[in-house]
Amino acid sequence: MVSVIPLRYGTAFKKAFSDPEVFAAFAGDVLGLTLRFSKVEQEKAFSPPVGKVDVRFDLYGEDEEHRVIVELQHVREKDAFERFHYYHLIAQVEQVASSKNYAVNRTVYTIVVLTRLPNEEHLRFDIASQSSDLITHDGRKLGLFNHRIVFLNSRAVSPTTPEPIRTWLELFEDSLDQEVDESAFPNPLFRRVIDTIAQGHVSPEEMYHLKEEASWEDSKEASFREGKAEGKAEGKAEGLREGEAKGRAEGLRQAIFDLCDVLGIFVDADRMAQLDGLAADELDAFRQQLKRSKQWR
C-alpha cells in the first residue's frame, strides 16, 4: 500500500494528470481515440475572455485536430453539470474567427470526473455523455459535429463499467482513503500517477495549496448543510411535518455518505437502495453503528 494525496484534491489531480503521456492515455481511453500532446496546461484561460463569464480549465491539451479539457469536481454544486457544459461550448465558440467563417477547426472533447455521488438518485451513474452531431429521424449521423462531453463518477463504478475506463475510475476511488494498492495497477502509467501523488513527494508549496483546498471544501459543505437545515426549519415553521421527516432522513443519508467518504467505504447501488428503504430513526441507528465499527453491516 502507498500513502497518497487523494485525487479528489485538484492539486494532486492536476499534478499527476498534467503529465502529457498520462493525460493523453486517460483522455484517449475515455474517448476511444489515439491522442498525443506535447504540453498540457493547468488553469487554462482564453485571452480575451469569451462570453459573459470567464472560464479556467483544470487541464487543457490541444493539437491540430483536438481540444481536450479535463475537469475534476468534488464539492457538491447544484450547477455543476450546467457549468461544465458551458465550458464545453466556450471551447468551441472561441475558435470562430468571424462572421465570415463559423468553422470550428478543432473538435472539442470535455471530460469531467466526479468524486462524490449526487444527492439525486437519477443522477448517479458511472459514465454519461453527450455528442453534438445531427441525427436524422432514422438514426443516421451526419458527421458534421464530433464534439463530445463525458461525465464520469468514480463513486459509481460497477462490473459493467467498460474497460479501460473502469481501471482509471478505480484508481480515483482507491485514492480517496489516502492509500492505494499499487499491485492493482501494474500499468507503468498508473504507477507514474501513484508515484506522483505519493505523500512523500508533496512539496511545501503543494501542501499549502492542499490545506487551502481542504478549508474551502469544508466551508462549502458547511454552507450546504446550513442551507438544508434552514430549509427544514422553514418547513417545520409552516407545519409541514411530512417534509420535516423527509428532510431529516435525507440529512441522515447525507451524513452517512460523508462518513463513508472519510472511512473510504464505497456506497454502491445496492447500499444506496438499502439506505433508501430506512426511516429516519433507522438511519440514525445505522449511522451510529457505522461510526463505531467503521464497517458497513
The predicted structure's pLDDT at residue 12 = 92
DSSP 3-state of 274? helix
On whether the CB atoms of residues 260 and 266 are closer than 8 A, the answer is yes
Q: Which helix or strand (DSSP H or E) is residue 119 part of?
A: none
Q: What pLDDT band is residue 288 in, cutting at 50, 70 and 90?
A: confident
95 and 124 part of one domain: yes
Place of cell 505519493: 198
What totals of helices (H) and strands (E) does the chain contain, helices first? 9, 8
195 and 223 part of one domain: no
Cα 43 to Cα 39, 112, 153, 246: the distances in Å are 13, 15, 22, 40
Residue range of the domain that includes 285: 205-293
C-alpha cell at 83: 457549468
pLDDT digits (tens, 9 = 90+) for 105-161: 999 999 999 998 888 888 999 999 999 999 999 999 999 999 999 999 999 999 999
Beta strands 66-73 and 40-44 are unpaired
Q: What pLDDT band is residue 243 in, cutting at 50, 70 and 90?
A: low
Is residue 193 predicted with pLDDT exceeding 80? yes
pLDDT digits (tens, 9 = 90+) for 198-227: 988 878 788 777 777 766 455 455 544 555
234 and 268 part of one domain: yes
- CB-count exposure of residue 52 (10 Å: 0-12, 13-18, 19+): exposed
121 and 188 part of one domain: yes
The predicted structure's pLDDT at residue 164 = 93
269 and 125 part of one domain: no
